[in-house]
Amino acid sequence: MNGARVAVLQFPGVNCEAETLRALARAGLDGEVFRWTRPPRELGAFDAFVLPGGFAWQDRVRAGALSAKDPLLEALAAQAESGRPVLGICNGAQVLVEAGLVPGGGGVELALARNRMPDRDGYQSRWVTCRVEASACVFTRALEPGTLLPMPVAHGEGRFTSAREAFVEELLGRGQVPLRYAGADGGPATAFPANPNGSACAAAAVCNARGNVMAVMPHPERVLDLGAIARAVGGGGGARRDEALARGGPGPGAGSPGMLLFDGLRAHLQEA
């Protein structure tokens, strides 16, 4: 493949690398699993980086906490600083937050805390709808703000929160919350199940100020086909799925919610 090279960082316990590689391939990018045992300097040979989902180091101490201290993250921070795109999905998002790459103002500024809504906590595996917000994030900036993307979530610790109460709201104001959980009306979801974890400002993803590093809790790599959208999902996403199925098959990729983010990465790398 002649596409840009993308490293899919794999710590022990990561389990979504295969789907992530498939998503990159569909986007025309040359993905390669980069295991934690390789020398960090070899990251310099890649154009972009994805930290996939899973349970790195079994979530020991705290989800993402041990991987965040790995020398690979120092090297990754240097790559991010140079402007190369970095996408952290679910557990990868937890690693980026624990490593301070997101929101990237210096030090650890956020947490992805245990899911907690009134009378509801614990692991959630379900479909949610994410609403695209105005942002300079390289993964979403080609998408019209207000676009609704159905995607699955599967996590126990996905609540974006900060010790400083208004901080996530400030990030939203600065365009650093590119995706928010949306309710049936398309507005920000404040209650379960549309907001599956109690995330501040219904944040589903947070990026750095430059927009090249994004931590996203839903799994875009699990919805590469319109036909992969669950039957229970209604709205525009459900309608697009039904149309695709009526045409005789969902077809790989075209217009599927997850692929839109990887297509955004490809477009950015082509421009760069």
Partner 1 sequence: MAARKRCVQAFVELRSEDPEATSALAVARERLEAGRGLASLRRFRVFEIAGSELGASAIAERLHGSSQFYNPAKERCTLRAAAEEQPPAAPEEALVLVFERGGARRTGAERWWRHASGERVEVREGVVWALGFGPGGEPAARATELAATRDRAHGLFANPHFQECRVCAGALPPLDWMTRRDPRPARRGRRST
Site residues (vs partner 1, CB under 8 A):
57-58, 60-62, 65-66, 68-71, 73-74, 77, 98-100, 106-111, 113-114, 116, 121, 159, 161-163
Q: 208 in the Ramachandran plot: left (φ > 0), alpha (ψ -120 to 50) or beta?
A: beta
201 is catalytic: no
Tokens of 64: 């993402």
Nearer to partner 1 among residue 68 and residue 213 (C-beta): 68
* Minimum separation from the CB atom of position 139 to partner 1 (A): 23
Nearer to partner 1 among residue 32 and residue 121 (C-beta): 121
Please state the φ and ψ torsions of residue 149, each to the nearest 5 degrees: -120, 110
Nearer to partner 1 among residue 59 and residue 221 (C-beta): 59
271 is catalytic: no
CB under 8 Å to 93, separation ≥6 — which residues?
Answer: 51, 64, 102, 112, 158, 205, 215, 216, 217
Burial 216-238 (b: 16+ CB within 10 A, else e): bbbbbbbbbbbeebeeebeeebb
Q: What is the DSSP string of 23-44?
A: HHHHTT-EEEEEETTS-GGGGG
Nearer to partner 1 among residue 39 and residue 248 (C-beta): 39
Which one, of 231, 229, 222, lies nearest residue 259 by Cα? 222
268 is catalytic: no
Neighbours of 166 (CB within 10 A): 11
CB under 8 Å to 33, separation ≥6 — which residues?
Answer: 8, 10, 17, 21
CB under 8 Å to 99, separation ≥6 — which residues?
Answer: 64, 67, 68, 73, 76, 77, 108
Nearer to partner 1 among residue 40 and residue 227 (C-beta): 40
* Minimum separation from the CB atom of position 18 to partner 1 (A): 25
Nearer to partner 1 among residue 71 and residue 173 (C-beta): 71
> So which residues are the catalytic ones?
90, 219, 221
